[in-house]
Chain A
Amino acid sequence: MHIEEHLEHTEPPKDMKKQIWKTFWILFALTVVDIAVYFQLMEYHSGYKNALFIILGVVKAYFIVGIFMHMKFEKKWLPYLIIVPMIFVMYLITLMVIEGNYTSFLR
């Protein structure tokens, strides 16, 4: 059986170059927000601040994986293949952080 040589790609948008620079400025701005929040709330320690940093990190990851790594333009199975396992990993990290807090009472 002849296997198709030419795989049909979902074509990237025509103005890819423009989109790359747009993504760069988004990533730049998000990092600047990170730094600004860090300096503004240096003495303020709270879970909300940490949650904000993590959300900003995930948003940055979305743009890096989606645009730079081209995942946004691939067939839906590839995102499933990569993202579904990572959701479980994020769950594991959350569980172990909670477990670490309990361990601290035993030290």
Chain B
Amino acid sequence: MSETTTLTNVKTGTWGGGKSPFSISYGKLMMWIFLLSDAFTFSSLLVAYGFIRHSYASNLVTPWPSPDHVFNHFPFLHGVHLPLMFVSLMTFILIFSSVTMVLAVEAGHRMAKKEVGMYMFLTILGGIGFLSCQAWEWTQFITGTHEGRMLADGSIFHGANLQMNQYGPTPFGDLFFIVTGFHGFHVLSGVVINIIIYLNVLGGTYEKRGHYEMVEKVGLYWHFVDLVWVFVFTFYYLI
């Protein structure tokens, strides 16, 4: 019997341990998991929206309003019927801010501090632009139109609140507030996080650290916000 011992083979498969099966850093993986859970939250709102909207499908007393008769305003063009134009503008603003964000990530790979800073700044501007548009949209929705809606007692109701609205059934207004509000709050927190990262970039925090991975992480969040808007745009305004 020989004295040499043979080592049992060390497992080297993907899930054998000792390395990340996902091949990304801990922070980025956790950001992905967070985004997945956030996607579930938005999906639950979407489930509620789909169910409630379709449960009004054969309701002739208070039908679900058609979006082109509700969201048809544009700033400085009072009284002109322009459905979809303003939200399209918002969509383009958000897509463009997504592009500047990914350009910041790309510049980060090259350790180009100045470029990262510039693109982060443009991304923040895009975010603020989007939020301003949404504030205008909400004001328009809450104030309502001059015609309003005639109530049973003969009085006229303008605009919308959580109890009632002039456009259609109460859940229409409620879902508008919760879906676009929850998304808008994500944009707001995204802008705040972007500002923090921007200041860190200017301060040279990541230059010292040797990599710009924080920009990538916040970029993932920012693109997710853009992604959610794609579906809000589709389900709330197009369909």
Q: Contact at A31–B92, with CB atoms within 8 Å?
A: yes
**Is A34 a contact partner of B238 (Cβ separation < 8 A)?**
yes
Chain A residues within 8 Å of chain B by Cβ, number: 56
The chain B residue sitting closest to A95, CB to CB, is: B47
Interface size class of B (residues with CB under 8 A): 35 or more
Is B114 at the interface (CB under 8 A from chain A)?
A: no
A74 interface neighbour in B14, B24, B36, Cβ under 8 Å = B24
* Pair count A-B, CB < 8 A: 149
Residues of B within 8 A of A3 (CB): 18-19
**Interface bits B56-95 vs A (CB < 8 Å: 1, else 0):** 1111000000001000000000000001100010011001
Task: Report B147-196 residues with CB < 8 Å from chain A CB.
Answer: none
Q: Is the interface of A mostly helix, strand, loop or mixed?
A: helix
Per DSSP, are chain B's interface residues mostly helix, strand or loop, or mixed?
helix
Complex formed: what's the CA distance from A10 to B52 in Å? 44
Whole-angstrom distance between the alpha carbons of A27 and B88 in the complex? 12
Bound together, the chains give a CA A103 to CA B52 distance in angstroms of 9
Residue of chain B at shortest CB distance from A3: B18
> Are A85 and B56 interface neighbours, CB within 8 A?
no
Complex Cα distance A61/B35, Å?
A: 14
> 25 A–B contact pairs at CB < 8 A?
A7-B19, A7-B25, A9-B23, A17-B103, A24-B95, A31-B88, A38-B84, A53-B239, A57-B233, A61-B231, A64-B98, A68-B98, A68-B101, A68-B223, A68-B226, A69-B220, A69-B223, A74-B23, A77-B22, A78-B22, A81-B32, A92-B47, A100-B53, A104-B58, A105-B58
